[in-house]
């Protein structure tokens, strides 16, 4: 596909999405997939179709499902996990300084896998507790960071680039579209998930752009 054709597809997807024409979003998506135009697909979708569609037809769509945009809550959980990890590290560092000799001895015994004597049992229990909390917080940081990056990507595709995306608030609109896709002469049914965001900046000003983004494509 020529660059000009790809650019026209992007503009068509944008115009259709802004108008709420989810049928046209489906059309633009599979047309770009059929043309192997991944640049256009990635401009309004986070999922790729790994087959070659010969034809496609929208069978029906669900009503719009509107609710608070999850970005704020994901940001909060991510910041909470980061703070928890830092606080736990600060606490066990202070504990180590306050119990320098027994804590050092416990560390060496744990590294060797040696038995812990009764006199060090309490320190060993405390130290293991700090280590377990550290693992939990690290997992939470990794999970929430991944979720945050994904959500920021979807929001950005819907509203356009924004330097303060983590400070935005607003609503998310989600709907599902049932699509029959012909692949290798056989019809396969899929459910496509679409999302768009109606966001406000930190000053409460509504952002002008909101378009549908393809966030899921599941075979039925």
CA 118, 119, 122, 124 torsion-angle sign: negative
Phi, psi of 68 (to 5 degrees): -60, 140
Together in a domain, 81 and 95: yes
pTM over 0.85: no
Evaluate if residue 12 carries a pLDDT over 60. Answer: no
Together in a domain, 75 and 144: yes
DSSP assignment string, 132-185: HHHHHHHHHHHHHHHHHHHHHHHHHHHH---TTGGG-EEEEEEEEEEEEEEETT
Q: With respect to residue 166, please indicate whether it lies within any of the assigned structural domains.
A: no
Together in a domain, 64 and 8: yes
Together in a domain, 140 and 175: no
Q: With respect to residue 158, please indicate whether it lies within any of the assigned structural domains.
A: no
pLDDT tens by residue, 145-178: 999 999 999 999 999 999 999 999 999 999 999 9
Q: With respect to residue 53, please indicate whether it lies within any of the assigned structural domains.
A: yes
CB 179 within 8 Å of CB 58 = yes
Averaged confidence pLDDT in the chain: 91
Together in a domain, 34 and 46: yes
Together in a domain, 79 and 60: no
pLDDT tens by residue, 33-81: 999 999 999 999 999 999 999 999 999 999 999 999 999 999 999 999 9
Structural tokens at position 153: 């990507």
Domain of residue 96 covers 71-149
Specify the CATH number for the domain of residue 212.
3.10.450
Provide the domain count of the chain: 2
pLDDT tens by residue, 75-131: 999 999 999 999 999 999 999 999 999 999 999 999 999 999 999 999 999 999 999
Together in a domain, 90 and 114: yes
């Amino acid at each position: 596909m020529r660059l000009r054709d790809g650019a026209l597809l992007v503009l068509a997807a944008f115009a259709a999405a802004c108008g709420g024409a989810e049928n046209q979003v489906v059309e633009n998506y599979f047309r770009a997939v059929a043309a192997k135009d991944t640049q256009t697909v990635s401009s309004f979708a986070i999922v790729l179709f790994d087959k070659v569609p010969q034809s496609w037809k929208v069978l029906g769509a669900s009503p719009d499902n509107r609710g608070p945009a999850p970005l704020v809550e994901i940001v909060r959980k991510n910041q909470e996990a980061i703070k928890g990890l830092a606080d736990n590290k600060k606490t066990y560092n202070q504990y180590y300084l306050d119990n320098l000799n027994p804590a050092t001895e416990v560390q060496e015994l744990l590294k060797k896998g040696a038995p812990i004597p009764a006199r060090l049992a309490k320190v060993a229990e405390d130290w293991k507790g700090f280590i377990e909390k550290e693992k939990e917080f690290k997992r939470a940081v990794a999970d929430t960071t991944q979720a945050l990056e994904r959500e920021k990507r979807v929001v950005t595709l819907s509203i356009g680039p924004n330097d303060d995306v983590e400070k935005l608030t607003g609503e998310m609109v989600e709907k599902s579209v049932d699509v029959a896709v012909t692949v290798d002469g056989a019809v396969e049914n899929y459910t496509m998930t679409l999302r768009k965001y109606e966001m406000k900046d930190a000053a409460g000003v509504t952002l002008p752009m909101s378009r549908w983004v393809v966030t899921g494509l599941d075979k039925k």
